[in-house]
Amino acid sequence: MAAIPVIDFSKLEGSERAETMAAIAAGFEHVGFFQLVNTGIPDELLERVKKVCSDCYKLRDEAFMDSNLAVKALAELVDKESEGGAPMRKIEGMDWEDVFTLHDDLPWPSNPPAFKETMMEYRKELRKLAEKMLGVMEELLGLEEGHIRKAFTNDGELEPFYGTKVSHYPPCPRPDLVDGLRAHTDAGGLILLFQDDRFGGLQAQLPDGSWVDVQPLDNAIVVNTGDQIEVMIDHILPLTAWDGGLGSSAHLD
């Protein structure tokens, strides 16, 4: 198996459904990361998402450089080195990341003008894909339809949180001294990540502790299981559910 599997999601609807379900199960079991292609999200929409996010961050870069704590800490280290101060050491506890979260109840960027319309359309498509993936997980685990989704809504009493995080990593003058994003696991349930296909950087940790690149693929969606899903599955099924349980992985962005 490739380190990070690539799965054609459209084959769930055809004669290769069993093989596709098995590939998804193996992806969950192996590392908790895999990439989906042909997800049903229109390529035209994904291209618009890339454009409006890029345009948005072009407007934000100057503000990031003026206000980000990691930028200030890095500048202080460089100043000390230039003045013959203490040896340079890596900045801990900070990320070289410009990020904001989109949610219906939060303020949205007003520029570029097409940003909100495009991202609202994208969020709807991601939600549909997330619900399909939860259905796949329920089927793989032998659960009744809607079981996992009910757990996230307290049997329908609550609305699950569907947040969309938009992240950007501006050029860094000293990448040896600061991480773009430190190693971490995601706290949520099911994470769907759309990478910029021009640049890499995302890495996942395999069960043996080694790190592998999650290679950017044109208009692919990376699927990652979060801590909440891992705890939920461990609670309702023994860890042998997928010949070793649900994979969970730290990752670097």
Residue pLDDT, tens place only, 68-101: 777 778 777 767 765 665 667 787 888 888 888 8
Q: How high is the pLDDT of residue 175?
A: 83
pLDDT score of 234 more than 70: no
Q: Which residue has the higher pLDDT, 30 or 242?
A: 30
Joined together, the tokens standing for residue 171 give: 């050029």
Q: Which CATH superfamily hosts domain 6-252?
A: B-lactam Antibiotic, Isopenicillin N Synthase; Chain (2.60.120.330)
Q: How high is the pLDDT of residue 198?
A: 81
Q: How far apart are CA 37 and CA 48, in angstroms?
A: 17
Q: Which residue has the higher pLDDT, 218 or 152?
A: 218
Non-local CB neighbours of 219 within 8 Å, separated by 6+ positions:
37, 41, 43, 46, 47, 197
| Global pTM value | 0.82
Q: How high is the pLDDT of residue 242?
A: 34
Q: How high is the pLDDT of residue 231?
A: 77
Query: pLDDT band at 232, cuts 50/70/90?
Result: confident
Q: Percent of the chain having pLDDT more than 90?
A: 32
Average pLDDT for 190-214:
87
Alpha-carbon Rg for the chain, nearest whole angstrom, is 20
Average pLDDT for 175-190:
83
**What average pLDDT does the structure give for the chain?**
82
Non-local CB neighbours of 218 within 8 Å, separated by 6+ positions:
197
Highest mean pLDDT among 45-49, 92-96, 167-171, 205-209: 45-49
Q: What are the extents of the domains in the chain?
A: 6-252
Query: pLDDT band at 238, cuts 50/70/90?
Result: very low
